[in-house]
Amino acid sequence: MYAPWAYGATTSLSIQITNWILLAAFVLWAVELLVSKRTPRFPRLLFFLTVALVCVGGWMVFNAKAIYDSDFFVFVPLRNFAPPLAGSVDYTISAAWIVRGALLLGTILFVADLSQSNRWLLRLWYAIGLVAGSIAFLGLLQKATGAQMIFWQPPPARYDLRISTFFATYYYHGNAGAFLNLAWPLSAGLVIRSFSKRHHPAMRAVWISLFIVTIAGVLANTSRMAQLVAVVLLLAICLQFGPALLRKLSGAEKSVALAGTLAILLALIALAQATHLEQPLTRWQAESQRIATDARWQAWHVALAALPDAGLFGLGPGTFRVVFPSYNVGSVNQVPGTWRFLHEDYLQTLIEWGWIGSALWALLFFGAIAVAIRSYNKYARREWTPRRRVMQPLVIIALVGVALHALVDFPLQIESLQLYVATYLGISWGSALWHHKSEVRSRMSDRSYTSDVSITLR
């Protein structure tokens, strides 16, 4: 909850506090394991990948070759451990990044273990839905009131393009859109679950309201890529759950569902009028003519020149912002402005982590999606609880969405988004072990989650 609300964990202070919170969670988890005398539950391959990534990044820091002097724009050489071997070009940035990276990798392990509990999985689901609705509501309120800055602060004295497109708590609208696309599929899942489980009407109203607000936030946001990804996610969710829901509804219930859908559309139209939805529509019309001249294409050409120097282990975690200017100055495709991120996460990862590090990250991310799909197809129908059967496809869809968004933006470089992605990866990897417990055993383990329960079904 903290990371998205603290400017999306994009400021120095919010990043530090988020890291401390993650460290506290990791320490308390270790204490719980010791007290309950149990071993954590996650796949061995996941543990191997996390340890390998920490080792690769740690070595790059340990064998760093220089520190970048931002005042004079030069790299100050360091006396490193093994000069012939790979090392980061900036010790300070890589050291800070690997601390954050290690905590996020620990989060994946923690969530994989936590996901074995039905109760905590549902609590995590509720938290994501509530945070998504609250962030979207803030963004809509800002649009409706014509806010000139986050939390209605006075605008900066000097115009800054980097913060002129803020939405909710995020300075950059693309990050806000990526966050909402990570969260709103799970909000939709809470609506689906509330109808399939015949929940109390008040609970249905709460989740439907939050879902409407979150979807309206995506529409009101001016990020074109976020809106395009949202359409893809919506189609995927409809294909996954639509036929089953229609078969489950009677004739009268289908009429009620149709009326509810119309009511939701009317509510979205009303919100659109209040929150100036014409702004993103106008941007689609204006910007579609300038896609071919977007500076990102030039930046990608400049970044490609750095790949031969990246080699197997890269130039160091987080170092893109200090190495890009040197390649940009000598490029025929020189791009104007300051580039902290490349707006292409995969190419930036190759530059920073090299081919070996990038392969490990790809196995961690796309391997989680593959494990989740395999587990769902093999075990969901016979051995999973209903909440797992609903939640897991939505987690997969959300991860595919952020993977698409990363092609033209940098959602995987922002800590609040990294945290949610790490959470989803933990759920996906953890699903490989969900078949070890039947629904009855899962409910019994929830009553005493802090102890290592061994149950024999007769």
Note the pLDDT of residue 212.
87
Note the pLDDT of residue 290.
60
Q: Is residue 279 over pLDDT 80?
A: no
Note the pLDDT of residue 457.
37
Tokens 């115009």, residue located: 159
Note the pLDDT of residue 444.
45
Q: Is residue 272 over pLDDT 80?
A: no
Letter for the amino acid at 370? A
Q: Is residue 395 over pLDDT 90?
A: yes
H-helix or E-strand spanning residue 181: helix 173-196
Note the pLDDT of residue 39.
93
With a CB cutoff of 8 Å and minimum separation 6, the contacts of 91 are 61, 64, 66, 67, 78
Q: For residues 91 and 209, which has the higher predicted lDDT (pLDDT)? A: 91
Residue 315 sits at φ, ψ, to 5 deg, of -100, 0
Question: Closest by alpha carbon to 19, among 94, 104, 93, 109?
Answer: 104
Q: Is residue 240 over pLDDT 70?
A: yes
What confidence category does residue 157 fall into, taking pLDDT thresholds of 50, 70 and 90? Answer: low
Q: Is residue 253 over pLDDT 80?
A: no
Indicate the angle between helix axes 12-36 and 91-114, nearest 10 degrees. 40
Q: For residues 265 and 178, which has the higher predicted lDDT (pLDDT)? A: 178
Question: Closest by alpha carbon to 63, among 88, 29, 90?
Answer: 88
Q: What is the DSSP string of 234-265?
A: HHHHHHHHHHHHHHHS-HHHHHHHHHHHHHHH
pTM over 0.85: yes
Domain limits, the chain: 2-297+339-447
Note the pLDDT of residue 439.
41
Coil, strand or helix at 75: strand
Q: Are 362 and 399 in contact (CB under 8 A)?
A: no
Note the pLDDT of residue 199.
64
Q: Mean pLDDT across the stretch 147-152?
A: 88
Tens digits of per-residue pLDDT, 197-233?
A: 766 778 888 888 899 889 888 888 878 889 899 999 9
Q: For residues 447 and 382, which has the higher predicted lDDT (pLDDT)? A: 382
Q: Mean pLDDT across the stretch 284-293?
A: 56
CA distance 360 to 56: 10
Note the pLDDT of residue 53.
97
In the DSSP assignment, the letter for residue 318 is T
Tens digits of per-residue pLDDT, 411-437?
A: 999 999 999 999 999 999 999 999 765
Note the pLDDT of residue 263.
62
Average pLDDT, the chain: 85
CA distance 136 to 210: 9
Note the pLDDT of residue 270.
58
Note the pLDDT of residue 455.
37
Q: Is residue 303 over pLDDT 80?
A: yes
Tokens 């030039």, residue located: 298
Question: Closest by alpha carbon to 348, among 319, 312, 308?
Answer: 319
CA distances from 310 to 58, 77, 349 (A): 17, 18, 10
